[in-house]
Structures are given as C-alpha cells and as structure tokens.
Amino acid sequence: MKITIQPIKAFSDNYIWTLINDTNKQAIVIDPGQAEPVAAFLNEHDLDLTAIWTTHHHFDHTGGVAELREHFPMTHVVAHAEHGVDPDQTIKDGSSVNAWGASGQVWDISGHTNHHMAYVLDIDNQKHVFCGDTLFSAGCGRVFTGTIEQLYNSFKRLNTLPEDTLLYPAHEYTANNLRFGLSIEPHNIAMQAALEIAQEKTKHGKPTLPVTLAHERKVNVFLRTDSLEVIAGVKAKMTLTDEKPLTVFAALRELKDNF
C-alpha cells in the first residue's frame, strides 16, 4: 500500500490536503472549505471519499463538509466538538486517527483559534503534520479566538518534532510571509533564497508546500524568537518590555498584523 498526499486548491489560496490510498482508490480530505473542487478531484481520479478531518471551525475549512457528506454518505467525519460539523469521531488532544494502517495522533495547537487541532501522521517512518492555520511556511496564523500565549506554546510544541517532519499548512502565504521575515532579518540568506523559489513557484501556480521543520527553523521568524538578529529586528521597529521569547513572538505577530 502506498499513501500519496496532494493539495486541492480552493478559494484564492486554500489547500485541501488529500491523502490517497493508491491501492484501494480511497481518499481522506483535510479541511474541505469547498465541496466542488474536492468532488471534481475525486471524480477525475476515480476516488472514493472515506473520511474528512478538520483542524478548526473557520468556514474556509469546514464549509464543504455537509455537501460532501451528501455526495459520499459513508464518509467518516473527524473533528473537535467545537468545529461545528457534527463529527462521527469527536477528537481532542491525544486522540488517535488512522489512515489505512498509518497511525496518527491529534495535537491541540490552539492560538489562531481555540480548539485548533493538528494531525500528526506517521507514514513510512516520517511524520506528516497537517497544521491548519497555526503554522504557515515562514509565518503563523493571526490570533482570533485563541490567545498569543497558546499560539506561542503551540509553536514550541511543533518545534519538538523531528527536523525531517513535513508540515502541511492550509494556505499559500509563503512569499508574503518571507517578505515580512526579511523586514525583520534582512540579511538572512536562507530567507532570501526561499523567497526567490517561492515567487517562482507561485508564478507558475505550483505549491510552495509542504516544508520540513528543518527548513522552517531557518526561515520562520516565529520559530527564531531567541535569535539575536530577530530580537534586534523587532527592537528596530517597536519597544520591547523584555527579550523573552514570548514577548518577541507577540511583538512579531503585532508587526505582521500591520505589515
């Protein structure tokens, strides 16, 4: 059995990550904000939808669930009770999920929203993390119903994963996030190179995702809050009460909100 992972594009910049079992032609979709592109993809590739997993309650991640359930009535919906989708399996931090024998664990990575979940899946001895809107390549989610403290702690938790972990954020924000990062760390060579690659991929309609955690540690300022360069870059733009990582993280998020 081989599991492949492909993005389905939705709205202007969403990715609906899709796990595909090539042997039995079944699929699992994560955060289907729209039903139509999912149905079209499944029909094109002759796939049967067996499960939907959601990371948080925002409509651009759940809006297609009900319609997909109508088209594929055997679909098993996995969600937190607060995601607003009437799940078949209600999850919380520490819950388990399964993709055709590949085991996964649910992590609470709140901050962007409260009750924001991630799916940490082990496939062929590598971790694949579907992190919704908590972590983006070179960035992080805006704080809505969660707190900045939650978001900071979620980043700390994600940063404990192996460096070859593949991260699957739900939006194509990479180039803009890297531009922000370079406004803080203008001499970061890894960021400069990543921006060139991201701009080229975006120009040709290719995803910049997934990314490894090792890559993000080099280019994501929100994972670099103890870096002297990041601290200096933030202090050049605003006054910090102290240089603790949480203080720097909160300041970065405030600067990004106004970038």
pLDDT at position 1: 78
What local confidence, expressed as pLDDT, does residue 160 receive? 98
38 CB-near residues (< 8 Å, 6+ apart) = 8, 10, 16, 18, 29, 32, 49, 64, 68
**Which one of 1.10.3720.10, 3.30.110.40, 3.40.190.290, 3.60.15.10 gives the CATH number of domain 1-90?**
3.60.15.10
Helix pair angle (148-158, 245-257), 10° resolution: 110
What is the model's pLDDT at position 112? 98
Q: Do residues 21 and 48 touch, judged by C-beta distance below 8 A?
A: no
Sequence ranges of the domains in the chain = 1-90
Task: Mark 16-37 as b/e (b = at least 16 C-beta within 10 Å).
Answer: bbbbbbeeeebbbbbbbbbbeb
Q: Which residues pair with 168 in a beta bridge?
A: none
pLDDT of the chain, 259 residues: tens digit per residue = 799 999 999 999 999 999 999 999 999 999 999 999 999 999 999 999 999 999 999 999 999 999 999 999 999 999 999 999 999 999 999 999 999 999 999 999 999 999 999 999 999 999 999 999 999 999 999 999 999 999 999 999 999 999 999 999 999 999 999 999 999 999 999 999 999 999 999 999 999 999 999 999 999 999 999 999 999 999 999 999 999 999 999 999 999 999 9
- Which tokens is 55 given? 């990371």
| Rounded distance between C-alpha atoms, residue 109 and residue 196, angstroms | 30
User: DSSP string covering 75-135, please?
Assistant: -EEEE-GGGSS--SEE--TT-EEEETTEEEEEEE--SSSTT-EEEEEEETTEEEEEEETTE
